[in-house]
Amino acid sequence: MKITIDGETHDFEPGDTVLDVARRLGKSIPTLCDDPRLDPAASCRMCLVEVKGQRRLQPSCAWRATDGAEIITQNARIDTHRSVLLSMYLADHSLDEDGLPQARGAGNALRDQAMEYGDGPSLPSLPMVRECRDDPNPYIHFDPEACVVCGACVRYCEEVEAVSAISLIHRGGKTTIGTADQRGLLDTTCELCGGCIAVCPTAAMTEKPSLGIAPSPQPIRSTCNFCGVGCQVDLHVTDGRLSRVTSPPPGQTVNDGNLCVKGRFAMEFIHHPDRLTTPLIRRDGELQPASWEEAIEAVTDGLLGVRQRHGADALAFISSSRCTGEENYLMQKLSRAAFGTNNCHQCAAT
């Protein structure tokens, strides 16, 4: 089956949308509400294209490719539509001193697209009428003034997590994101996975611990240690401290861009003031600081003494999911190769 996009004919597979084919060809079509994990909603209207035989522009994220179809992704009509649509978004949005959506901590696709496509008419600002309320949950912050009501967070919560903790509430200009009876997230089915943050195009949903902190331009790819799945994470470091954990883009890794509450938010222990930074040895009933050499010698003497008196299987080794994969490997090697016992466990083993 063949489809023609901007004068070039290409193959496509059954079920492909115009946006799917265009992206494979390297075509740049802006979107706000699209995510490969979600069913197309065509709510943001940024991805409209011309389809031969159709009077109106059609959403490329939801328009299925058909054999022989002819598509135009860029012309004066489409450019005018995008710029006017962005002007309408900006009129109903919280702006900075440059007249653009605020950059915010986690980035803002609407701001990026306004800078690239936004030369439309200047429209008067609309009064903010969406409800704003504090939510006592420790991780997820919602700013209704930054929301474009694309519904991506609601769809993710329902289609990917199957939790349906949040929903679109109210009608018309008052439409916003909320919960049943406007309860806090801790009183709903929310699992605090942060997937709503990952799919939000304007950072209306963002991480409370990282508010106001820009993402690192070059995050460090790593593996989450909290269970045995091996989810990939991107670590953002600011001024020598871990400031944010995000998921890689969907379709690239085993977790397909998803993370659980531990993978995304359980990072406080890294810089916690109560974290031990030096070995401790119990002397005269009291834990006292010691050098690494002293600590290793004390552990070695104690373990060898137990093995000599009671045998190797009297020993057991337990490692932590907060250690690296390499450290956990060395722990089981210490157990099996050095002390001769298979009594080795890790708290993330499932």
pLDDT in tens, 58-88: 999 999 999 999 999 999 999 999 999 999 9
Question: Which phi and psi angles does 8 have, rounded to 5°?
Answer: -110, 135
Torsion sign over Cα 322, 324, 327, 333: positive
Q: How far apart are CA 271 and CA 239, in angstroms?
A: 13
Q: Indicate if 267 and 297 belong to the same structural domain.
A: no
Question: For residue 257, what are the domain limits?
Answer: 215-275
Q: Rounded to two decimals, what is the model's pTM?
A: 0.84
Q: Indicate if 271 and 289 belong to the same structural domain.
A: no
Of residues 153, 231, 230, 157, the one with CA closest to residue 190: 157
Q: Indicate if 17 and 66 belong to the same structural domain.
A: yes
Q: Indicate if 15 and 83 belong to the same structural domain.
A: yes
Least confident piece of the model among 143-152, 186-195, 243-252, 321-330: 321-330
Give the three-state DSSP class for 169.
strand
**CATH number of the domain to which 247 belongs:** 2.20.25.90
Q: Indicate if 94 and 32 belong to the same structural domain.
A: yes
- Which pairs count as long-range contacts for 21-30, CB under 8 Å and 24+ apart, including other chains? 21/65, 22/49, 22/60, 22/71, 22/73, 27/73, 29/60, 29/73, 30/82, 30/113, 30/116, 30/117
Residue 154 lies in a domain: no
Residue 331, strand partner residues? none
**CATH number of the domain to which 328 belongs:** 3.40.50.740
Q: Which two tokens mark 304?
A: 């060898």
pLDDT score recorded for residue 104: 64
Of residues 132, 266, 258, the one with CA closest to residue 209: 266
Q: How far apart are CA 203 and CA 111, in angstroms?
A: 10
Q: How far apart are CA 155 and CA 291, in angstroms?
A: 53
| Domains identified in the chain, total number | 3
- The neighbour count for residue 125, using CB atoms within 10 Å, is 11
Residue 132 has pLDDT above 80, yes or no: no
**CATH number of the domain to which 96 belongs:** 3.10.20.740
Residue 233 has pLDDT above 80, yes or no: yes
Q: Indicate if 56 and 32 belong to the same structural domain.
A: yes
Least confident piece of the model among 179-183, 223-227, 260-264: 223-227
Helical (H) or strand (E) element with 205: strand 205-207
Q: Indicate if 298 and 284 belong to the same structural domain.
A: yes
Q: Indicate if 241 and 291 belong to the same structural domain.
A: no
Residue-wise burial string across 211-229, b where 16 or more C-beta atoms lie within 10 A, e elsewhere: eebebbeebeeeebbbbee
Residue 198 lies in a domain: no
pLDDT score recorded for residue 215: 83
Q: Indicate if 9 and 94 belong to the same structural domain.
A: yes
Of residues 71, 70, 73, 63, the one with CA closest to residue 29: 73
pLDDT score recorded for residue 106: 64
Residue 113 has pLDDT above 60, yes or no: yes
Residue 94 lies in a domain: yes
Give the three-state DSSP class for 103.
coil
Residue 222 lies in a domain: yes
Task: For residues 213-226, give the mean pLDDT.
Answer: 87
Question: Which region, left, alpha or beta, applies to residue 189 given φ > 0 means left and ψ of -120 to 50 means alpha?
Answer: alpha
Q: What is the pLDDT of residues 10-48, one digit of tens each?
A: 999 999 999 999 999 999 999 999 999 999 999 999 999
Residue 209 lies in a domain: no
Residue 297 lies in a domain: yes
Question: Which region, left, alpha or beta, applies to residue 312 given φ > 0 means left and ψ of -120 to 50 means alpha?
Answer: alpha
Residue 187 lies in a domain: no
Residue 159 lies in a domain: no
pLDDT score recorded for residue 81: 95
